Each structure stands twice: as structure tokens, then as C-alpha cells.
Amino acid sequence: MELLHTIAQQLEQGDDEQVAALTRQAIEEGLPAKQILDDGLIAGMAIVGNLFKKHQIFLPEVLLAAKAMCAGMELLKPLLIRDAIPTLGKVVIGTVQGDIHDIGKNLVAIMLKGAGFDIIDLGKDVPPQRFVDTAVREQAQVIAMSALLTTTMPVMKQVIDLIQITQPPKPIRTIVGGAPVSPEFAREIGADAYGYDAAHAVDVVKSIIAKGSPLRGG
Amino acid sequence: MPESVYLPPDDIVPDESSVLKAQKLPVDTTEDSVRQRFHWLYTSACAQFVRYARPRGLIAGITHESFSQVFNGEGLNETPNPLSDIFPKAEQIALFAVTLGQEVSIAITDLFNSNDFALGYMLDAVCSEAAERTADAIQNYYAHVLVRTKAYNYPPHIVRYSPGFCGWHISGQKKIFEYLLPQEIGITLNQNYLMQPLKSISGVLVVGKPEIHQFAAAYPFCATCTHRSCRERMRVGWASAHR
């Protein structure tokens, strides 16, 4: 479909005004919301993601594309809700309690949204109970945690332990990241996965939802 | 008695190359295309910076004995660490704190909240570099105070160190705050030793011969350091005095 291909191209270029205009046009022409999402917006972000992994474009360009995606999603979201279109999965994300660094966490949230996940961003300085309560209430599959201080990293384990204690009705997997966090630390605290940057986090979240991994609770 | 210093934001705007390098963009090439692609974002971010940033600093001289208590802090420093050997050889020591203020941090958050991610990210990078430039300015100011008070005939060699780096545990912030009272310039410390506003730096200025600062990055904690700024800080020393 030429129009959807053009949406993807304009998204790659980071032209949010064009993406919004073309998305509106696609809706008015009666194209299904899911098709516009999959073949227009997500398709465009997938190309952007691949170019980024190959170092042919850089993070600011990815973020411009993400802004364009948001412009399209703003128009599509009511239709997707109306049609009960499922997302790739639901992720609760936040910076752990005591920490207010959020740039890295924001980048992960942006990239996950661009990949088609439903994101509940709890912000920064998030207590362990709030991570778990939100994930259970929203039936999220993943809790993603960020910490930029060695003094706040232990809170990640508190969240993981709380999931075990809570025994949610559906399994909740965990991914951790942040400058002082390492794969070894992630293993040590029982996290399901570790993400070393935003792009890697997207691949990892897709993987742990699709393939499954040692589960926490449920 | 701590001394407050206020700086015009225009004086602290970091250069484009350092901001783009901080984002790991490949600007060290003969081709200018990368720089050209992001020049508009950089200039937009700088305009936001000048509008919202309120750079200010606080500085206070401290004796070796008092600094020893500040440095030992909560007793959580790595041992050995370079600063334990360096500060006893210092000719002068001063504690410092700098901040860009809360308004610019709010501006970054607002940009992300309004989906202007690229500009928010660029402004964050500008602010991180600018915070270092503000610390450079305070270091330079201290050098000139030492000359003005005739402690030195010319700006001396100064290297700065901060808690959270080089084996100085981040809890070291607590004693710095008790001595310096950076609340006076709007910086607070939470229970995890995190300063707010985020774009703040605190630490110690160590005045002494260049050779006292030389150490090999071979401590156990060096293996996990992602900054490696010690090399440049040693090399530059009092370079801010040359600006």
C-alpha cells in the first residue's frame, strides 16, 4: 500500500507533521487502524532500528523518528482501543526508588513504544511496591527497572523478591539496566534479563516475552 | 566562609564538538556531515540552555585535617585509592559545589513529556557538558583567588575530584554538604547521596605540583570505570586558568 509505505518513509525522515497528515489521510480512506500501525508506523520504526544498529544513523535521528511515530499514534490510539487491537506486550518501566536519573529509562521507553509495546512509565524514584502493584493491576508481562547509582541498585532485588512474595496470577519477567548495572549483577539478583542500552533492551524484551525465561511469581 | 559565584549561562555554553562526542557521535572525522545533521538540534538546545540555566557555584578553603574527616566520610571508600595519597601532598585544598539550577532540569523533562525527545536528549547532553564547564569556571576562579590573595604569583596547578569516582565513595557527599552547605545555592542531597538538581557537581579542588596527581589507572575500581576522565583532568590541571 503506497500510502503506508510513504508514512514509513516520512517516519524514517523524522517528519512528524507529515506522518500525522498521512496517518489522518489513511484513517479517512478507511484503512484498518492495525494495518496503518503495522505497515506504516511500526514498519518505519523497524527500519530506523535496523539503520541504528548498523550505525548508519544515530540516536538523535531515532528520537526524531520516535516523535513522528508518536504523532501518528496520537491519531490511531482511539481506534486501536475501540478495535481492541493487542500490542506486542505490556511493560511497566521506571527508575528505582531513591534515584531520579531518567534519561536512559526514557530512551528505553521510547524505543519499546516504537517497537509496538504498551508502556506504563512510572517515572523516577519508584518504590518497589508500586512497580509490582502496577504490573499486577495492568497485567503487564515485564517490569523494566533503571538505576544510575550503586546505592540504588539493591532496590531492583527488592522488586524481584516482592514479585516472588506477591505470586501474581500471571508471570512477570524483569529486565534491569543502567550505567552501574552489569549482566553479573542481573544474574545475582535473579533478574530475567539485562539491557546494556535502549536498542538492546527492545530485543531482549521481545525475546523474554516470546521465548519465555525463568519466571518470577505466578 | 563559603563564597558564592554566579555565572552567565552564555559563558558556560559548551562547544558543539564536545556535546556531540558526549553522545558518542562520530565527530572526529574529516567529513562534516554528522556535525551538519545535528547542528540545528545543538543550536536549539543551546538556546534552551541560555534561557533556563542558572549556573552558580560555592567554594570554601579547607585545612588538610578537616578534609581528612570529610574524605573519610562514612568509612566506605575503596582502599587503596589515589586521593588518599594525593591530598596530604596538596599545597591548598578547597571544597566546591556547582549547579545549573532546577529550571533547566524541568525544561528537559518538559521536552520529553511533549514528545520532543531529540531536543530533550540534546539539551541533557548540553547540560552535562555545561556542568563540567561550570566546575572548570569555579576551579579557574579559585586559581585567581589564590593569586589575588598572594598565595601564588601565578595561577597554580589544580585538579578536582568528586565522590563517586576514583574510589571516593558517593556517601562522601554527606560530609561535603555538612561543611559547605550547598543548600545556599539550591543544591540538596537525598538519602542515596544524590544531588538535586541533577546537573550539579561537588567535590574537592587540590592545588599542588602536577606530579602529585599522577597515578596509574590500575586500581581495582578502574576496571569498571566508564569515564576515564582522570587522564584528561591530570593533563589539563589548571587549563581553565588559560582560557
DSSP state, residue B10: G
Q: Average of pLDDT values for A177-196?
A: 95
B191/A98 Cβ within 8 A: yes
Cell 572526529, located at residue: B28
Delimiting residues of CATH 3.40.50.280 domain(s) in chain A: 90-211
Distances (CA, A) of A110 to A94, B5, B228, B235, B239: 12, 38, 29, 39, 39
Whole-prediction pTM value?
Answer: 0.91
| CB within 8 Å: B171 and A64 | no
Cβ contact (<8 Å) for B116 and A67?
A: yes
Taking CB atoms and an 8 Å cut-off, how many pairs form between chains A and B? 66
State pLDDT tens for residues B3-27.
Answer: 999 999 999 999 999 999 888 888 7
Residue A174 near chain B (CB below 8 Å): no
> pLDDT value at position A212?
60
Q: Write the DSSP assignment of B69-90 as a string of letters.
A: HHHHTTS---SS-HHHHHGGG-
Residue B60: CB partners within 8 Å, gap ≥ 6? B1, B2, B3, B94, B95, B96, B179, B180
Q: What is the pLDDT of residue A191?
A: 97
- Containing A161, the helix (H) or strand (E) segment is helix A154-166
A4-8, B33-37, B39-43, B110-114: least confident range: B33-37
Chain A environment of B198 (Cβ under 8 Å): 100-101
Comparing B36 with B140, the larger pLDDT belongs to B140
Q: Scanning the structure block, which residue is given the C-alpha cell 565513595?
A: B169
Amino acid B235: pLDDT: 72
By the CB < 8 Å criterion, does A59 face chain B? yes
Residue A127 has, within 13 A of its CA and on its CB side, a CA count of 3
Question: Which residues of chain A lie closer than 8 angstroms to B191, CB-CB?
Answer: 98
pLDDT by residue (tens digit) across A133-170? 999 999 999 999 999 998 899 999 999 999 999 999 98
Inter-chain touch A60–B34, beta carbons under 8 Å: no
∠B35-B39-B43 over CA atoms, to 5°? 145
pLDDT given at position B240: 44
A90-211 folds as: Rossmann fold (3.40.50)
Residue B91 backbone dihedrals phi, psi, to 5 degrees: -85, -35
Give the residue range(s) of CATH 1.10.1240.10 domains in chain A: 2-82
Fill in the DSSP letter of residue A175: E
ipTM reported for the complex, 2 dp:
0.90
pLDDT (mean) for B23-41: 79
Which residues are A94's β-sheet partners? A145
Inter-chain contact A101–B112, Cβ cutoff 8 Å? Answer: no
Which CATH code fits A2-82?
Answer: 1.10.1240.10
